[in-house]
Structure 1
Amino acid sequence: MFNIPAIVFENTRIVWISLFISFMIVILLSKINIKRILLIFISIFISIFILLQISPNSLTRLKSISDISYQNQSNYERLLMWQSATNMFIDHPIYGVGIDNYYNEYIHNYRSPLSREKQHHPHNVLLTFLSETGLLGTFGYVTLFLYLFYHSIKTYIKNYNIFALAYLACLISFTINSLTDSIFSQIGYGKCTTFFWIITGLYFYINNHISIKYKKYI
């Protein structure tokens, strides 16, 4: 919990969104009464308001989330990269352009004339897999995460296992963050992938050896 303000002040907007959605889902799925849920919601919104007032730059970043104009380079550049990656996939739908070949293809064949950056990935995990490995490679990635979601949801519904709910929140945050960054086995993000596998391994180990259920709060 002490790290959350630090994460917020990093001003990575997708992290704000993923944390907010994960918290909301965890709260709604938790076995707590309506009054406590409302109290938690109010506390979260008040905390967000205070944090944004303390950091004007964070408030500016928040307002820029929906700005896709050319002047907002961060957002506009992502749209151009997503378009380039989509075009790669359309041209090479089965096998993609090859693992680690995105950058070369992007620079020489698919980069938009409006682009102002030379990125090594399209800032989207799904588009990274589609452009580099096509449908064959992407099938494995999608199947893996569908299974992880299915397993954690099924486990939580079956016995209200607190670890399953925590892991589900991690999956949701990781997946949302993957929409605007290539954080799964990509350049500069190896540690994120390693940490993800550590959490996944701990989840399955704990799930198989420890049985902890939520108590219903009154």
Structure 2
Amino acid sequence: MTITRDKFSKLENILGYIFGISFFINFNLSKELITGMIIVTLLRYFLYGERLECGDKKIEKYLLFFLFGGLIWNFFAGMSFIPVRQYLKIMRWVILPFYFYPLMSRDKKYINKFSYGLFLGGVILFLKSAYEFYKAPWTRVYGFEGIDTTGFGGMVIGIIGFALLLNKKEYIKKILGLALMGIGMGLIVFTQMRSAMIGILIGYLIVLLFSINYKKLLVLLGIMGILMGISLKNIEHSSLKRFTTAFDTEKTLGNSSNYMRILLWKNAIWRIKEHPIMGSGTNNDKKLFLEYCYNMKEETPTEKYMKDAMIFREFSDSHNMYLNAISDNGIFSLVQFFLWFGICPYLFIKNRKSFNENIRILNLMVGGILASYYFSGLTWSVWRNKWTPMIFWMSLVVLIYCYGIEKKENNQ
């Protein structure tokens, strides 16, 4: 007996809501739900004859080319299925636009309902992290999925809150925005994630630039001035050391995190020169990485420590998503770069022209989140990392939703 479309829709909706709740608190569940989403998307076609769609046929074809073209490319780049599997792990999130766009386009309130679960997950993450921080003040908290995931989660939540604060007219939503900003900044402070701290400020700047008026600017500067004044007055300078040394490049053991990144970038540039056309295949460059490391100088204790750390901790990542992309996929990385800096900015600009206030605010949130994500990619592997690729793909979901809705309304 075939399930009715109404009952099937309820299944789709519930699966999406659970994904929203799990987004900030359970990566393994999110990963398993992706499998369910793939199955449901296929059933849409086999049971009801509904084709894949995500708001625009050209974007659909581009995403499918990015997926299947990349799989073929990675096989020939690494001449094995190892990089193919690694590429597929990263690209599994490509199902999200195809899964969520039909749901959001059928029910315009769906995105609001989805956000309730998202915010609930964010609050749970904050409470757990705050408890960890309370037990061990100024020790970097783990949260649910690790320091980086928790910090970048705070970055996303804070930018959403900032967009609500500046652009929503209802006081209740402004208060919600302020609360989300506090949750986001709290998570960043708990984890001491410098990349997330700078990222959230860049996200704020983008949101501010596209929704600016002098009254809002003065209110914002006043709020930020008060919060920063209170924070700096009550926090010991030594506790802020990770933030105050964010751009320090001194070659010392006390600055090993920053210095290590510079060495990782040099290593990545050398690997790119070794395979400039095809790349090494996704996450398939450990052999080349170690070859470079074994030839590093070790004339000082700091150099020896760094060399040993890179070899024995088995780093094979540049901590830069752009260098990773080129090292992995050579010239095929241009497809990835065009998605990041061609398609997404195009959708953002088109969506800004909408007469629908909710569409403009959603678009603004995502613009700020993507700007912070792109910046974070300079110093962190936000594309290869387990959880952080979801930031990009869910942002793309919202951009495509806004664009698709505008196209439908304009064609009516």
TM-score normalised by structure 2 residue count? 0.46
Partner of 1:109: 292
Compared with structure 1, are the counterparts of its residues 66 and 171 closer, same or farther at alpha carbon in structure 2 (3 Å cutoff)?
A: same
The structural deviation recorded for 1:110 is 4.7
Identity %: 26
1:45-194 to 2 correspondences below 5 Å = 45-56=225-236, 57-71=238-252, 72-110=255-293, 112-113=296-297, 114=303, 115=306, 116-117=309-310, 118-134=314-330, 136-146=331-341, 147-157=343-353, 159=355, 161-184=360-383, 186=384, 189-194=385-390
SS in 1 for 2:387: helix
The structural deviation recorded for 1:208 is 2.6
Compared with structure 1, are the counterparts of its residues 26 and 97 closer, same or farther at alpha carbon in structure 2 (3 Å cutoff)?
A: same
Q: Is this contact kept in 2: 1:52–1:58, CA < 8 A? A: no
Q: Which amino acid aligns with 1:46?
A: I
Q: Does 1:15 align with 2:196?
A: yes
| Runs (5+) with no aligned partner, structure 1 | 212-218
SS in 1 for 2:283: coil
How far does the alpha carbon of each residue in 1:133-159 deviate from its partner, in whole angstroms, 9 at most, with x for none?
11x221011100111022112321454
Distance in 2 separating the partners of 1:21 and 1:195? 16
Distance in 2 separating the partners of 1:166 and 1:142? 21
Q: Does 1:36 align with 2:203?
A: no
Compared with structure 1, are the counterparts of its residues 29 and 195 closer, same or farther at alpha carbon in structure 2 (3 Å cutoff)?
A: closer
Distance in 1 separating the partners of 2:393 and 2:274? 32
Q: Does 1:6 align with 2:187?
A: yes
Distance in 2 separating the partners of 1:124 and 1:79? 10
The structural deviation recorded for 1:74 is 0.4
TM-score normalised by structure 1 residue count? 0.84
SS in 2 for 1:9: helix
How far does the alpha carbon of each residue in 1:168-216 deviate from its partner, in whole angstroms, 9 at most, with x for none?
11110110111111111x2xx22221343133213322443379xxxxx
Distance in 2 separating the partners of 1:7 and 1:79? 23
Compared with structure 1, are the counterparts of its residues 48 and 9 closer, same or farther at alpha carbon in structure 2 (3 Å cutoff)?
A: farther
Compared with structure 1, are the counterparts of its residues 50 and 210 closer, same or farther at alpha carbon in structure 2 (3 Å cutoff)?
A: farther
Compared with structure 1, are the counterparts of its residues 98 and 207 closer, same or farther at alpha carbon in structure 2 (3 Å cutoff)?
A: closer
Distance in 1 separating the partners of 2:367 and 2:263? 31
Distance in 2 separating the partners of 1:158 and 1:199? 18
Compared with structure 1, are the counterparts of its residues 92 and 166 closer, same or farther at alpha carbon in structure 2 (3 Å cutoff)?
A: same
Distance in 2 separating the partners of 1:96 and 1:194? 24
Distance in 1 separating the partners of 2:364 and 2:380? 24
The structural deviation recorded for 1:94 is 0.8
Higher helix share: 2
Q: Which amino acid aligns with 2:241?
A: T
Q: Which amino acid aligns with 2:379?
A: T
Distance in 1 separating the partners of 2:361 and 2:273? 42
